[in-house]
Amino acid sequence: MSTAEEVKARITVPEVLLRYGLPTSSRGRIPCPIHQGEDPNFAYTDGRFHCFVCGAGGSVIDLVMGLFGITYPQALVRLDEDFGLGLMRGQRDERTRRKAAEVAQKRAQERRRREDGKKVYQSLTAAFCAEIRGLRLGEERPSQWNGEGEPPALPASWVEAAHRIPYLEYWLEENSNFERWEANSHRSHSNSQLHSGGLPGGDGPL
């Protein structure tokens, strides 16, 4: 049995009239409450009604639609609630359950995304710290120039370290924790640059 059939089977027209403070009559004829008539042109039985003036007619559901100017589904909900039938409770619970499941799923996705992000951040930080250490170890000091002839060329490893270390240090300071790194990657992401907070690749901005 559908909800509408159930509603029609369990609620009669005179019950609806009584529930909403309208007159009833033993002859089943009252002034029409839908077009607010004065003469008893509104005829009803337990299951159906018909107004001979405005032409309204139908079941208890049509009656409630006409009385309150609401749609068919709204009339079903209204009758279900006003007569305490509890027919829609299951559907409401199901909607609530589905919504809760969606929220839980979104939270889980967000948590996973953050955990993945933390791993990326930690490995980047570790890699850049290791790179700084490596560059410092390989650094040859430039030889002293005694002031005669051409100054000696700077060792390539020293030049590389001199360029790279300040930028790596700058990156590590700018991204000193996961939250800052995430905020920075958001920013660089929306500028459609490299993901992951601007990788200090190449010579950096120097």
Where on the chain is the footprint of Zn ion (CB under 5 A)? 32, 34-35, 51, 53-54
C-beta of 34 vs 65, nearer to Zn ion:
34
Strand partners, 30: 42
Do residues 181 and 175 lie in contact, with contact meaning Cβ atoms separated by under 8 Å? yes
Structure tokens, 76 = 């079903």
Q: In angstroms, what is the minimal distance from the CB of 57 to Zn ion?
A: 9
Long-range contacts of the stretch 199-206 (C-beta < 8 A, 24+): 199/124, 200/128, 200/164, 200/167, 200/168, 200/170, 200/171, 203/163, 203/164, 203/167, 204/163, 204/164, 204/167, 204/170, 204/171, 205/167, 206/163, 206/166, 206/167
Measured from the CB atom, the residue of 10 and 50 that comes closer to Zn ion is 50
Nearer to Zn ion, 62 or 182 (CB): 62
Start-to-end CA distance of the chain, whole Å, equals 76
The distance of closest approach from Cβ of residue 58 to Zn ion in the complex, given in angstroms and rounded to an integer, is 12
- Identify which of residues 35 and 163 has a Cβ nearer to Zn ion in the complex: 35
CA geometry: angle at 100 spanning 97 and 105, to 5°? 125
- CA dist 102 and 91 (Å) reads 17
Q: Which amino acid is at 126?
A: A
Q: C-beta of 37: minimal distance to Zn ion in Å? A: 5
Q: Write down the least CB distance from residue 85 to Zn ion, Å.
A: 27
Nearer to Zn ion, 54 or 67 (CB): 54
Taking the complex as a whole, the smallest distance from the CB of residue 21 to Zn ion amounts, in Å, to: 18
